[in-house]
């Protein structure tokens, strides 16, 4: 019997700017400002990710979960 592992055990936390933009758009955010408001962070903080500062480790799993949740809601 195949064991189902939680997605975060197989998910890479590596992220580049193109993938970040793609993920936040797929998650339903129109722009970085909307994402910043949702996360209660400044737009400047989000804008520095991937260039001045590294992406936080939580951002990719969070966006992937949001995308999966939206897909699951469509099936209801």
Over the stretch 27-64, which tens digit does the pLDDT of each residue have? 999 999 999 999 999 999 999 999 999 999 999 999 99
Six token digits for residue 29: 């955010």
- pLDDT for 10 equals 61
pLDDT of residue 25: 97
Angle between helices 17-26 and 59-74 (to 10 degrees): 30
Q: Kindly report, residue by residue over 18-27, the tens digit of the pLDDT.
A: 999 999 999 9
What is this structure's pTM? 0.81
- Does the pLDDT at position 2 exceed 90? no
């Amino acid at each position: 019997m195949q064991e189902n592992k939680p997605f975060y055990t197989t998910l890479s936390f590596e992220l580049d700017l193109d993938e970040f933009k793609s993920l936040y758009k797929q998650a339903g955010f129109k722009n970085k400002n909307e994402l910043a408001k949702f996360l209660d962070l400044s737009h400047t903080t989000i804008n520095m990710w991937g260039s001045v500062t590294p992406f936080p480790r939580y951002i990719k799993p969070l966006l992937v979960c949001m995308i999966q949740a939206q897909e699951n809601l469509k099936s209801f």
